[in-house]
Amino acid sequence: MSADTWNDDGKRAVVFGAEAELYDRFRPTYPPALIDVLVALGAQTALDVGCGTGKLGRLLAERSVEVLGVEPDERMAEVARRHGLTVEVSRFEEWDPKDRRFDLVMSGQAWHWVDPEVGPGKAADLLKSGGSLAVIFTRHHFDPDVRSRLKEVYKRVVPDLNREPKHAGGDRSGRLVDPIERTGRFAPLQLSRFPWSATISRDDYLGELRTYSNHILLPSDRREELLEGVAAAIDETGGQLEVQYSTRLVLATSLRS
């Protein structure tokens, strides 16, 4: 298991439900160009691994793909159901597919929580012949001045986090790709990037920060001190953020005949 994602016996993977409504409201969406690529695969059925509140799955469902979500947190699953998705509550590694197979297995912002020794092989088992595994994650970037100001706030308030504020997912290409390739059950992987941008308010960014697992787990007083510092830093730069996003797609086609 990857130490950075499976620390605390994977408990960080199931803390998001504490802020399920905020997650649904403030976490970034996915760019239309990415959804176009997924739809062009021709999938009629898709399994959304770690579907959360359904932010990815419902975009496919709106394009006439039949989507089933698997989500370990009932609180997140309930929000996804309110958006019209069918969701079964389980960790992917333990989930019983009941002989169901899919044209597409996808995971947005969640595959790094799946055991790398189990997930890729199970995904291959679940795919119909010629089906695809799509692993999606997003990074974001700020203007250097904003980035520097936010970094100083984190260094002052929560130095033990030892990281700059950035969207969950990070630059995980290698850590995601290598276990998939090692299965020997997929054609050569295709890696794509989809750049996009957005302007978000101070309060929307604070809402997003409240949904990060390592922020949720902070003692409440330190979390509030951190958010106050972030708010002040954003106010000093105009009260809103110009965000450059890069959504990454790792696409693997099953070799199973």
50 phi and psi, to 5 degrees?
65, 50
Q: How far apart are CA 32 and CA 38, in angstroms?
A: 10
| CB 85, CB 61: distance < 8 Å | yes
- CATH architecture, domain defined by 7-253: 3-Layer(aba) Sandwich (3.40)
- Quote the pTM value: 0.90
- pLDDT at res. 163: 56
- pLDDT at res. 246: 97
State the chain's maximal CA–CA distance in angstroms.
58
Which residues are CB-contacts of 224 (< 8 A; sequence separation ≥ 6)? Answer: none
Residue pLDDT tens, the chain, 257 long:
333 444 444 566 668 888 999 999 999 999 999 999 999 999 999 999 999 999 999 999 999 999 999 999 999 999 999 999 999 999 999 999 999 999 999 999 999 999 999 999 999 999 999 999 999 999 999 999 999 999 999 999 999 875 555 444 444 567 889 999 999 999 999 999 999 999 999 999 999 999 999 999 999 999 999 999 999 999 999 999 999 999 999 999 999 65
| CB 81, CB 140: distance < 8 Å | no
CB atoms under 10 Å from CB of 233, counted, come to 19
| CB 165, CB 150: distance < 8 Å | yes
Q: How far apart are CA 22 and CA 17, in angstroms?
A: 9
- pLDDT at res. 176: 85
| CB 73, CB 14: distance < 8 Å | yes
Which residues are CB-contacts of 152 (< 8 A; sequence separation ≥ 6)? Answer: 233
- pLDDT at res. 172: 52
| CB 213, CB 12: distance < 8 Å | yes
- Could you state, in order of their start, the residue ranges of all structural domains in the chain? 7-253
- pLDDT at res. 4: 43
Q: Is 56 helix (H, G, I), strand (E, B) or coil?
A: coil
